[in-house]
Structure 1
Amino acid sequence: MQSENTLDALATNVTGICMNVDFPDKNNTWIIDLGATSHICRSKTMYNSYSPIQNSNVLLPNSTKVKVEGIGGIKLNDDIFLHSVLHIPNFRFNLLSLLTIINENCFKFVLNTNSCILQGLKTLRKIGIAKQHQRLLLFDFPKSDLNSVCNKICNSVTYDTWHQRLGHVPTFVYRLIANKTHLSAIDSSFHCSTCNLEKQNRLPFINRNNFSANSFDLIHADIWGPFRESTYDGYRYFLTLVDDMSRFTWIYLLKNKSECINIIPQFYAYVENQFQSNIKTFRSDNAKELAFKEYFSKKGIMHQFSCVERPQQNSVMERKHLHILNIARGLMFKFNVPLNIWGDFVKTTVFLMNRTPSPILNGKSPYELLYNKLPNYSSFRAFGTLCYASTPLSNRHKFIPRATVDVFINYSQGYKGYKLLDLSNNQVFISRDVRFYEHIFPFKRTPTAAISEDTITPDITPNLVNPNHEPEIDVDIDLPTSTPHSSNLQPLLSVRIPLLQYYSRLFESHTHFICQISENFEPQTYNQAIKHKHWRQAIEDEIAAKEVNNTWTIQPLPPEKKPISCKWLFKLKLNSDGKVAKHKAQLVARGFTQQYGLDFQETFSLVAKITTLRVLLALAASKN
């Protein structure tokens, strides 16, 4: 068999022994040919990716020309993906080139008396079996377990929407996902300016990309922060943990760095319980919060440190944080979400990264390597999109709205639901019954909208309805799909009103009180206070009072100990009319500079309990 008017890569030779043979199931029957150089398929519905070809023919052994309609890729099952398969509708069978499939995959072909077995080259696992039928080898392979309903849903969504759902992944990464499930074809004219804004960076240093042999042989750790603006629930840091073998990432939001002292032991217990494995090596920088010398010695964990000012030695974490912040910036720039929910779009970013295939992982995602199964892409939704969540049945009457207007902000960990922000009361909650409108983004400014200096976007400070303070476990979610409908929603704006306009509405006594407060001065530092006579007197009175009460005793500083510094606090005590009653100065110890587990292990209180007093009085009475 020879082809005409086409590329040399499409040329193929095949024996003519099977031209007159018929099969009951022609679409799912594949014949193995040792002489063919290309695969041939007769059904267009079997292709995962497809490109039409013009003016191309194949010459059969009986001198008949058959037209080639196109070329593409076909996924037979989870192990076999055929590339460059010719589409010939007039062909009577599907042809499988043995040389091509062995050269493109790590397979080997074992010939037996009545059958032939296709095995993995390294694992020797049976991929499929070929049996003789009328002097031909018919290939029988295990059927793929892909859900046809899920594939149909994924294929009905446009490439633009999938690009937003997957966190603005590159086209080659999208092709890797499309090879595993049925997604829409890539639009060659599609352009995304957000990708350039989020990923423009300097050239990276050379990385060897060495991987551990097994999961949890090596865990990379690092703390990011503090960020200048905390989240709506008070977080300013996040701890990142990465498995070296699978590159799977866990993230924990922190209010203080000292919270790591509880998270690391909890993570070790999580690995032990969920994966029946143990952490062998822990790699981090020289942060004191990650120095678990006693705990790691007890567990037999080797702790590796990077040298001072050499972040390249902890390159996995440096690149991971760069990747996380690139995608998080893209989500923020694209959808204009409030900055104080940065914790949610950082966790959404990590959720997407764990389920995104990577070239350094041989086209697999971290989720596939860790859990040995494909993630459920049909449950993905675009971040920051408009959605409607059904109201709870409790406290609902006949005339209350049946849904709330919300914004999707995160995938809920540990729940089969979505994390939403209610636009009416700024509350964060989790719901399963959600209808999405992925072409509408409430926080996104329209290009034609004129926004003056007197208008600002709303300050969203959500109230957490369903708090969860336990360590988060990354689980896959399986949610129902929804069909979007057209709608229109303008960005929410509010007007800035000067405070001076309210002074005329106050009573005279209140106005006098405000003026007295504005006139008086409260120093913030000791140097500011000593410049004023009243505050110097207040400082002297405070020191005299502490000396009279024997508040302290002078002692030498123990070796290898750090003293706790002090700070002066100054406060005005006012009468009801706003006049100054007293200048109050207080000398306080800055005890918050010490961290539990690093500077001290135990705490105690100087306040005696009533039970202790009763015991003391009983002993005194019994001893006369």
Structure 2
Amino acid sequence: MLRRATMHAPRNLRANGPMAPRNDHVSPRMSRHDDYYCYVAQVALKANASNTWYLDSGCSRHMTENKSFFETLVMEDGGFVTFGDGSKKKVKGKGNISIPGLPSLPNALYVDGLQANLISISHLSDEGLSVMFGKVDCSILKENGQVLLKGKKSSDNCYCLESNVFSCNLSTSEQIDVWHQRLGHMNYRDLKVLERLNVVRGLPKLGKKVEGVCGPYQQGKQTKSVHKKGKYLSTKELLELLHMDLMGPIQIESLGGRRYILVVIDDFSWFTWTYFLREKSEAFEKFKMLCVKIQNEKTSHIKSIKKIRSDHGKEFENASFENFCNSLGISHEFSAPRTPQQNGVVERKNRVLQDMARVMLISNKVPRNLWAEAINTACYIGNRVFLRPGTKQTSYELWKGRKPNVDGEIWIATHSTIISI
């Protein structure tokens, strides 16, 4: 049964008629207890349907009675909702809802006793999203036309999103496990540090780790020894020193026929680039490509490369490499033979990338020849979630000058490979 409901406005707004335009910018002289003005649809739901979200074109605010959905919530007397049968529900607060599998829902209302979770189509439009309705389903689209979410038409002729499909109502223990997997099986402790320091955008409030051990994490990150982490900044600005190393040959060719990985890391920010090669000799061309890329990204805080450090591999120690560095005024340092510890920053990064990629391949049971895609994803995630030792900033923020947003399709999903870089 579908009933119409009205959320009443104060008298000075009601005078404009029930179809008056929405006005979010209320005069400062008005009481903070002013009621909101809009129409919503209230659906008579079964008791077990509390995790369903309904798309409503007549609702000017997202609203729910479930406090656990809110990332931030300010409790306040925000008016009331009166339904067609005369019953009333109090608006007890307002905040932002952030749930994996749903678009961000800002300025949502906490309505005590509301029987349905309502998504305002007009507010989705304000966020740059659009909704397309079909005979049996609906789609929420980004501005570029990409499908963000899909819903279905319910038996009561309403369009909705089911939480058991889109993980809209994960428990906190399930949620932290989802983000652990999503961010390349990132250490739980480091994941909580990201949440506590608020150094990335798009990360919701996380609960405690569930009991047990992540099998793929344990299997993929077994090791005999560790490299000691540097705690302090040894350089004072970006591009003062780049560490370089070549991994390979990899036993299995990648999907694109590559066997080697060139890893380059900026010492100041620990921002990392990866390039995939068929032969070692391609390292010089890839380095030139990186120099052009950095030149194009030049800003007030991104200048020019001053120094690079590598081992004595022939792919780095040759006349072409030397002449190119001399032409750009780049100093080239070499680590001592058979002493990888002298280039420990990139050696450590190599291991981190391999561990993350191995865990993602194992946990998602994807073909091993997708290792290059997994390494690329691991590099992308690492730049955005790992803090530079000695700072409280991610590599991305130090390099780009802004906080990264992790609320995007950057992970190898459980049932398919999704890498949006």
TMscore range, shorter length = 0.5 to 0.7
What is the 5 A alignment of 1:148-227? Answer: 158-179=175-196, 180=198, 181-189=203-211, 191-211=213-233, 212-227=235-250
CA contact (8 A) 1:280 1:301 kept: yes
Matched residue, 1:410: 419
Matched residue, 2:281: 258
Instruction: Give the drift of 1:410.
Output: 2.6
What is the 5 A alignment of 1:404-553? Answer: 407-411=416-420, 413=421
Aligned equivalents of 2:169 and 2:390: distance in 1?
Answer: 28
Query: What is the one-letter code of the residue matched to 1:272?
Result: Q
Secondary structure at the aligned position of 1:355 is classed as helix
CA contact (8 A) 2:269 2:399 kept: yes
CA RMSD in angstroms, aligned pairs only: 3.3
Q: Against the structure 1 CA distance between its residues 379 and 190, is the aligned structure 2 distance closer, same or farther, given a 3 Å change threshold? A: farther
Matched residue, 1:320: 349
Aligned equivalents of 2:388 and 2:295: distance in 1?
Answer: 29
2:361 is aligned, of 320, 323, 332, to 332
Instruction: Give the drift of 1:279.
Output: 0.1
Matched residue, 1:242: 265
Aligned equivalents of 2:219 and 2:72: distance in 1?
Answer: 30
Q: Deviations over 1:111-146 (max 9, x none)?
A: xxxxxxxxxxxxxxxxxxxxxxxxxxxxxxxxxxxx
Q: Deviations over 1:235-290 (max 9, x none)?
A: 00111110111101100110111112212122112112212410000000001211
Aligned equivalents of 1:302 and 1:208: distance in 2?
Answer: 23
What is the 5 A alignment of 1:2-401? Answer: 158-179=175-196, 180=198, 181-189=203-211, 191-211=213-233, 212-276=235-299, 277-291=303-317, 292-358=321-387, 360-380=389-409, 382-386=411-415
Aligned equivalents of 2:277 and 2:229: distance in 1?
Answer: 30
CA contact (8 A) 2:259 2:279 kept: yes
Q: Against the structure 1 CA distance between its residues 378 and 154, is the aligned structure 2 distance closer, same or farther, given a 3 Å change threshold? A: farther
Instruction: Give the drift of 1:382.
Output: 4.4
CA contact (8 A) 1:154 1:378 kept: no
Aligned equivalents of 1:357 and 1:303: distance in 2?
Answer: 27
Query: What is the one-letter code of the residue matched to 1:201?
Result: T
Q: Which moved more, 1:223-232 or 1:155-164?
A: 155-164
Matched residue count: 257
Q: Deviations over 1:29-54 (max 9, x none)?
A: xxxxxxxxxxxxxxx99x9799xxxx
Q: Against the structure 1 CA distance between its residues 222 and 173, is the aligned structure 2 distance closer, same or farther, given a 3 Å change threshold? A: same
Secondary structure at the aligned position of 1:275 is classed as coil
Unpaired segments of 5 or more residues in structure 1? 1-23, 27-43, 51-146, 387-406, 414-624
Aligned equivalents of 1:155 and 1:340: distance in 2?
Answer: 33
Secondary structure at the aligned position of 1:298 is classed as helix
Q: Against the structure 1 CA distance between its residues 381 and 299, is the aligned structure 2 distance closer, same or farther, given a 3 Å change threshold? A: closer
Instruction: Give the drift of 1:162.
Output: 1.3
Matched residue, 2:11: none
Aligned equivalents of 2:337 and 2:265: distance in 1?
Answer: 21
Instruction: Give the drift of 1:203.
Output: 4.0
Question: Percent of pairs identical after alignment?
Answer: 28
Q: Tell me the TM-score normalized by structure 2.
A: 0.55
Q: Against the structure 1 CA distance between its residues 193 and 48, is the aligned structure 2 distance closer, same or farther, given a 3 Å change threshold? A: same
Aligned equivalents of 1:190 and 1:261: distance in 2?
Answer: 46
Q: Tell me the TM-score normalized by structure 1.
A: 0.38
Query: What is the one-letter code of the residue matched to 2:277?
Result: L
Unpaired segments of 5 or more residues in structure 2? 1-30, 34-66, 74-126, 130-147, 149-165
Q: Which moved more, 1:259-268 or 1:176-185?
A: 176-185
Query: What is the one-letter code of the residue matched to 2:311?
Result: D
Instruction: Give the drift of 1:315.
Output: 0.2
Aligned equivalents of 2:212 and 2:401: distance in 1?
Answer: 33
Instruction: Give the drift of 1:334.
Output: 0.9
Q: Deviations over 1:544-583 (max 9, x none)?
A: xxxxxxxxxxxxxxxxxxxxxxxxxxxxxxxxxxxxxxxx
Secondary structure at the aligned position of 2:297 is classed as helix
Secondary structure at the aligned position of 1:200 is classed as coil
Q: Deviations over 1:509-531 (max 9, x none)?
A: xxxxxxxxxxxxxxxxxxxxxxx
Aligned equivalents of 1:239 and 1:340: distance in 2?
Answer: 17
Instruction: Give the drift of 1:381.
Output: 5.3
Aligned equivalents of 1:161 and 1:342: distance in 2?
Answer: 22
Aligned equivalents of 2:228 and 2:386: distance in 1?
Answer: 21
Secondary structure at the aligned position of 1:191 is classed as coil
Q: Against the structure 1 CA distance between its residues 170 and 206, is the aligned structure 2 distance closer, same or farther, given a 3 Å change threshold? A: closer
Bigger Rg, structure 1 or 2 = 1
Aligned equivalents of 2:195 and 2:333: distance in 1?
Answer: 39
